[in-house]
Amino acid sequence: MKTNKSEPTMLDRVSLHHGSSHQDTVRIAISILFSLVNSRQPDPDKHYVLIADQVFIRNANWSLVKQLLEHFGGGVKFSGESELGVGTGSPLMDGIVLDRATGKSWIYMKMGTIGRIHIGIRTQKSNSTAKTIAEYHKTDRDGPAIFQCQDDSLDKKNETEMMEGVGQVAVCFCEMLGGEIDGAPIRCDFQKIENKSGWKGRYIDMLIKLVGFFSRIIQIDIPDSIDFSIVDWQPVRDYLRPPLFN
């Protein structure tokens, strides 16, 4: 993001010297940014990787996350109302009958307090039929299924794990942009996102559909590369130097 030099911003140089809330916010932005940029790079050896299994979002400053994405050359914004938002079923389940056989897995969404959305993986331990938890959702107690991989050409376990992260990022974007569901502001009902950065182009397509299903149409701008020179890495060097360089 280009800025007017006469109007310096708090993002003139991203620093890791700040407190835990700021550091968590930077990690979230970097994790999402890596996933977005990797989706355009077909060679896995050239992917950016953040060394972390999960990235905590409980202290997220979503306004700053949005600014960071823009500062690195990316960006997300709502661009209109979504027809997907009026449906009662996930657009990723169109034409798919949920397979509840033992051992099968899928991604579900669950709403607790209105507006709060949880995304998780459900693995069927025994054969069962759907149970009604609400008049308009015929599903199991975890909530309606929003994705299940039934493509035998894909690694179904990996695809399911990847899509858990995609679904979580979709909710994060909705909260960051002020999205609403059933008239209430959307909030993440989970404390961390699964850090699976090996995204492919199809995950961006499914991310856009999920955001549209939860709230509105989203526009995502993805940079071709990442300029790491705007990050102050001194705290990392200070942390590593004692055991490695003394």
Q: What is the pLDDT of residues 14-65, one digit of tens each?
A: 555 555 677 788 889 999 999 999 999 999 999 998 887 789 998 889 999 9
Domain contains 5? no
% residues pLDDT > 70 (the chain): 78
Domain contains 7? no
Return the pLDDT at 221.
96
Domain contains 4? no
Is 65 or 111 the better-scoring residue by pLDDT? 65
Give residue 102's identity as a one-letter amino acid code. Answer: T
Give the length of the chain.
Answer: 246
Domain contains 234? yes
Q: Answer yes or no: is pLDDT of 196 > 70.
A: yes
Is 239 or 38 the better-scoring residue by pLDDT? 38
Return the pLDDT at 160.
96
d(CA 246, CA 238): 11
Name the burial class of residue 169, with classes exposed (0-12), middle (13-18) and buried (19+) by CB atoms within 10 angstroms of its CB. buried
Instruction: State how many domains the chain has.
Output: 1
- Angle between helix axes 62-71 and 20-38 (nearest 10 degrees) is 50
Domain contains 201? yes
Domain contains 1? no
Which range of residues forms the domain containing residue 162? 14-239
Q: Answer yes or no: is pLDDT of 134 > 60.
A: no
Domain contains 140? yes
Domain contains 224? yes
Return the pLDDT at 124.
87
